[in-house]
Structure 1
Amino acid sequence: MNVQLKEIDRTNYQECIDLKVSSDQQDYVAPNIVSLVEAAYEPDLYPLGIYDEERFIGFILFDFDKKINGWSMSPYQ
C-alpha cells in the first residue's frame, strides 16, 4: 500500500463526494459534500483526499487550531 494525501480540487472533488462511509459510521462524520462546502468558506479548513496509489480511498478534513497552535481534525466533521 502506498498511501498519499492529495488536495481536493476540480479533478477529484466528485470522487470525494461519491465516497461514502459504512452505515454504522454515518452518525460520526458529516457527508463529504458538507465538509467541502465548509472548507470553501472557512479559511483554516483543509480537505485532503487519501489515496492508495491513484485510487481514492478516504477523506480527511484538517484545521489549524489557534488555541493549541497546531493541526487537528476539524470539529466540523
Structure 2
Amino acid sequence: MTFKLVHALVNLMVSIDLAEEEAIPFEVGSELLGDTVGLLGDLTAEESAELIALIAQIAAPETDPERGEALAELSETLGLIEES
C-alpha cells in the first residue's frame, strides 16, 4: 500500500509541476507543492531516505523526457535532499 500511495503522490506532484498555467495557476501549484514540502519536512531521516528510494523506483521506468526530468528533480523539489 505504501508504494501505491507514494506513486499517487508522486504522479500528482509531477502533474502539478508540469501543468500549463491555464490548467493550474502558478500560485495554486506553488501553494500545493509548498504545503506538501511542509508536511514532508516532519519526516525522519530514515523516512526521507525511504521516500527518496521510492521516488527513484517510480522514476526508473518513465519514458517521457519531460516527466522523467521532473521525477529526477522531485526529491529536491520536495525538500527531501539539499539542492545541488
Give the TM-score taking structure 1 as reference length: 0.29
- Which structure's residues are more often strand, by fraction? 1
